[in-house]
Amino acid sequence: MALYRILSLDGGGIRGLMTSILLERLEAARPGVVAQTDLIAGTSIGGILALSLAAGFSAAEVTHSLEASGTAVFSSSSLHAEQAPGETAALYANDNLKAALTAIFGDRTLADLSKKVLIAAFDLDNEAKSGLGRIRTWKPKFFHNFPGPGSDGDEKIVDVALRTSAAPIYFPIYQGYVDGGVVAKNPAMCALAQAIDTEAGRQSLTDIVLLSIGTGQNANFLAVDVTHDGNWGMTQWSTDTRLLDVTWGNDVSLVDYQCRRFLGKRYHRLDPILSESIHLDDFAQLRRLVAVARQEDLADAVAWLQRYFE
């Protein structure tokens, strides 16, 4: 069989600008990278990037769009004036983001995309009716446009984009969904599973090559004296969103390990190291993000593309 190429894009808020610039540079070095890709997977901002690329926009166009709309997206106030942003309401409204997405995608659906996509989100309530083996529960949801009875081809692109990027605390819940980073900040393994699914993909594992691009490695740690200060309860864990920071999005390195074991040299991960932490809404660090992405050494990635992807 022919190669089956997967491009996987992590979540990370404004740090997704790095992803688009890295892709832009890879396209310049090896033209046709995105065009050759069979499946584009994404979470949160990575999901928005995946949808944009699958709709035919170039990485350069996506970069321009992020730079142009980022300030507006992260400047919109909370939905209700009487609520305190970050405490009793989301930090940002999603109206500016929805307006920007609607201007790009209009009423198009996933079925209108020229490429297959897999977009991670988290369903807060499946509203399942009681019955044998079924319970009402929250669950991961991976929107895709593969053919078959489970296809989400009729879903509007704008709605899927807003669902995958509804980061808890930062943006409101959208249509019962929150950010896919809750379960799959790095969607590479989910994309791999989708590709080899007997109904949707039927791809042989030996034919799959996968390029995974992250949004930069932050220095995340908690300096704790376990002898005197390790007996934490809700008060300590909830301070400065520590519990959320520790538990949300930490699948990145796990998924990297799994993909390396399954695919070996047919897998490549590109994820620049950030000298200082940049939060997903820290638009003031735009220039620094651009500098990191422009200066990152892509020699290994370009060589890998030439050897395995093309």
Catalytic residue among 10, 152, 159, 179: 179
Calpha distance 220→223 (Å, rounded) = 10
Catalytic residue among 8, 20, 44, 52: 44
> DSSP class of residue 120?
E
Q: Token pair for residue 178? A: 């929150």
Calpha distance 27→309 (Å, rounded) = 12
Calpha distance 208→197 (Å, rounded) = 13
Q: Three-state SS for 308?
A: helix
- CB neighbour class for 288 (10 Å; exposed up to 12, middle 13-18, buried from 19): middle
Residue 179 catalytic? yes
What are the E-state strand segments in the chain?
4-9, 39-43, 116-123, 139-144, 177-179, 208-213, 267-270
Amino acid at 73: V
Residue 8 catalytic? no
- CB neighbour class for 4 (10 Å; exposed up to 12, middle 13-18, buried from 19): buried
Q: Token pair for residue 266? A: 């047919």
Active site amino acids: 44, 179
